[in-house]
Structure 1
Amino acid sequence: MPAAAIPAPPWRAPKKPPAARQPLSAEAVLSAALRLVDRDGLDALSMRRVAQELGTGAASLYAYFANKEELLEQLLDRVIGEVPLPSPAAPDWADEIKRSCYASRAVFCAHRDLVKVARASIPVGPNSLRYTEAMLAVLRGAGIPDRIAAWSLDQLSLVVVADAIEAAIHAERGRRTEADSAPYFAQVRDYLANLPADEFPNLVAMAPTMVEGSGDERFAFAIDLMLGGLARHARGGDGR
């Protein structure tokens, strides 16, 4: 006859019932991966770590993603889906492109350094394709020739990605705000100002100017500069 179960001491806290495991799906894996990147950064992402977030084994993730690279591709596409699509019906095509560049930058900056995945690759997920299609519709609708539209979209994307990556690197080094960054840029300014003036006359003279302006101001300058050049090819500009 089996012995009676020995009761637990009364001072022990009762055990909580186990939480129901989240049903596994591609969407659940992507959500867990995004939480991990937002919290710990891109370098922390691995199939094993994502599996731990979900309370399962890494092998179960391969039913949805062939490898980490595929997971990253789809994760980037999911984030791109957060960017509102530009409208070809907007009354001012340049303002619409600018608004979209700002929106893309804001979305990328909100997800730590995930934007690094976009380096040297062309996103071709469904959200990426819809965004590219909408941007091209705005540019072509403005009368911009196809090659200029394609190259401009590529170069605008590079500006957005590079700016977001730089912001992520600054954040990793403790420079999350302009106030955080001020001591570093002051050091750079003073270093430039004290270079040998006979060898570096321009850097010495322009030391304050080289580091002035916020990140937002410099991003706005870059986008305006590119749109100014692009306008020459639009209907009504040199492109007629």
Structure 2
Amino acid sequence: MPAAAIPAPPWRAPKKTPAARQPLSAEAVLSTALRIVDRDGLDALSMRRVAQELGTGAASLYAYFANKDELLEQLLDRVVGEIPLPSPAAPDWVAEVKRSCYASRAVFCAHRDLVKVARANLPLGPNALRYTEALLAVLRGAGVPDRIAAWGMDQLSLVIVADAVETAIHAERGRATEADAAPYLAQVRDYLAGLPADEFPNLVAMAPMMIEGSGDERFAFAIDLMVGGLARHARGGDAR
């Protein structure tokens, strides 16, 4: 008859149950990396951290990604894949481009500060290529000249990325909502209004307007300006 198990002394800390090891694949690595970024932010992401959450060693990740930069590139492309592709068959191409810009911003803002990766990398992953191809098809189908379409698409992307990065930075600094940002913006307004009026007459006069409007309103204003500019080059010059 086997001897009864001897209980551990009460002063010993109970052993932790080891995390179940997940089957390793590129998809598992990307899913885990995105979960870390969404939860803890971009600075928290490392190959070691991903490996720990997968219950493996960091070296095993290099079978799928050469380094962290490659992981980030593919992670960003995975997120780009969440953006609905614009349709060249849409009856109103101006509205379709604007809708796509708003959708892109919403996707990037949903993943904390991952969008910072886009500042230094040309989006050349498969999802980014498909999105670019679709948006160019919309612009060219509207009669926007090729050079204007290429440059316009690039500059729209810069506005979207810059807005999403600024949104992420505001959130990091405790200004995730308009209400959170209101005290800071009020300080900026009062500071501008209190500048020497003889040296800064325009800033003093326009202090309230310099900070008014929500982030959504300002983003819509920027997109309206840019898409309206593209429309002037389109077939028929339909600048709406």
- Runs (4+) of structure 1 moved beyond 6 Å? 14-17
1:138-177 pair list within 5 angstroms: 138-177=138-177
Q: CA 1:212 to 1:193, structure 2 compared with 1: closer, same or farther past 3 Å?
A: same
Number of residue-to-residue matches in the alignment: 237
1:1-240 pair list within 5 angstroms: 4=3, 6-8=5-7, 20-237=20-237
TM-score (norm 1): 0.93
Measure the CA separation in 1 of the matches of 2:75 and 2:160: 18
Which deviates more, 77-86 or 17-26? Answer: 17-26
Which deviates more, 48-57 or 159-168? Answer: 48-57
SS of the residue corresponding to residue 233 of structure 2 reads coil
Measure the CA separation in 2 of the matches of 1:109 and 1:16: 36
CA contact (8 A) 2:19 2:55 kept: no
1:52 Cα shift?
1.0
SS of the residue corresponding to residue 232 of structure 1 reads helix
Measure the CA separation in 2 of the matches of 1:191 and 1:23: 57
1:8 Cα shift?
2.6
Deviation per CA, 1:112-148: give whole Å up to 9, x if none. 0000000032111110000000000000000111100
Deviation per CA, 1:141-176: give whole Å up to 9, x if none. 001111000000000000000000000000000000
Which deviates more, 37-46 or 71-80? Answer: 37-46
What residue ranges of structure 2 are gaps of 5+ in the alignment?
none
RMSD over aligned CA atoms reads 2.2
1:22 Cα shift?
0.9
Q: CA 1:56 to 1:221, structure 2 compared with 1: closer, same or farther past 3 Å?
A: same
Q: CA 1:50 to 1:19, structure 2 compared with 1: closer, same or farther past 3 Å?
A: closer
- Structure 2 residue identity aligned to 1:171: A
Measure the CA separation in 2 of the matches of 1:15 and 1:47: 26
- Structure 2 residue identity aligned to 1:46: S
Q: CA 1:105 to 1:89, structure 2 compared with 1: closer, same or farther past 3 Å?
A: same
Measure the CA separation in 1 of the matches of 2:164 and 2:133: 22
Structure 1 vs Structure 2: percent identity of aligned residues? 86
CA contact (8 A) 2:194 2:204 kept: yes
